[in-house]
Structure 1
């Protein structure tokens, strides 16, 4: 029995490696024989799962071996997807989805896999996976084929029918991918999809989805705002890109909706303010680091002041603190925070 288990675990190592490679560029070197053997491994380990799922000692042995193999592969492969014992029951489906979503897969293998699954039992998991992947590919292609918009002219995203259509396609595509993704892979899925959309257009798609009232209707939609914000706000270049390309009334709305967004947006506005110096020739505050005038910066603060009382208090408290830290001057022209507060109070 020990020899048979050793052989099974060695074969399991090979299958786990095949699943990992199915998501990599290595598939461009595969042929039909490679794919056939991979699906045969999937069928074999589906039987292994059924056979040992109720046998606790042997199942524990397999799970422990998978854990060690996962650690080994995670050390040498970026964004590695861990494989657990229960994944063996749907190994063929995981393989099918990985290959069909891999842009490196040669066209003749894509056709072979599609025909293979279409000719299988329509109620089988492989067939359902194919339908799901094809619909997601179609949505992505349609999204990329729609014309990009003159993004800086978008004052109210929800009033733009083209942008709304694109946002709905993106949202549908993301929700579909998230439903079949493990929890620890969801952030990677969002990053992968959003990263393929040109900037600054991606910012306006994100904003449109976040502003939509329908975003809280389902569990997957509740997850999207946090994943979007994590993608944008944890990367300085992306967050600055969003803040500089989206109109300030829209940024203010997002600040009213999310304290997380408001805090990062505020930090950005403070950086812009601190980067400004008095230009002697014109007597105005200018920044050498940000393409934002003092009037545009002031406009951002004024829109935040149009929000709920807690946001107004937030803005005034923060500005007064910055004014004190800068010398607490009341005379205009010495501290930018003094000048901003004077303008805000005059509004």
Structure 2
């Protein structure tokens, strides 16, 4: 039992590091896999002992001691309860993604959608594509929830848009320098390089996310300002997205409406009417 208590305490400490320490900037795939291995271990402990009042009491006492010491070292630390052990992997993933020190390489690995031939061969968890699996599950929930009317952007884009807003909001709240948020958005743009048709619906979904706080509104305003500086992305959005979706964006955001109208005027000024070509088109239509 002492070994179990020690392992649980160490895993809770690992969660605190994942959430609040800059040490994660040095993590690699194997380190992350080991972390999820121990998170899975805690979930097994919860399943095995949640209905045993004696052992559960011992585990809860250990959690209180560990939480107390971590709270003294990290004032922003959120305590882990016995119930949290049952969702330890979810906590680890969420707290890792909310840590601005998490390397972009690890984020790409977690969001990977293709099976890699370079997956590590070890006794630890295979975490490649873990976020993609989560997105698929949440997308299915969105589809079932909106059977009478699916969002225009699609369920998967809506989930990714919400995650983009959550991550951007956290980065903005943790760093006074906006360059951190700009670097994050640049990394997102780089990740979708060559696949703008997938990025545009995600950005649209993020901008259409219901704002229930001043922080979320600030995140959307920052995303709009960034979008206006990325002329290529903005132009592709306005030419590729459905007109209804563009109308919804223009209705909700004055900044998007102004940028969209300016782009439409630019396109109109560049249009040319060529009589000869017009006649050829009409003649071909008649035949």
With CA pairs under 8 Å and 6+ residues apart, which has the higher RCO, 1 or 2? 2
Structure having the higher Rg? 1
User: Normalising by structure 1, what TM-score?
Assistant: 0.42
TM-score normalised per structure 2 = 0.49
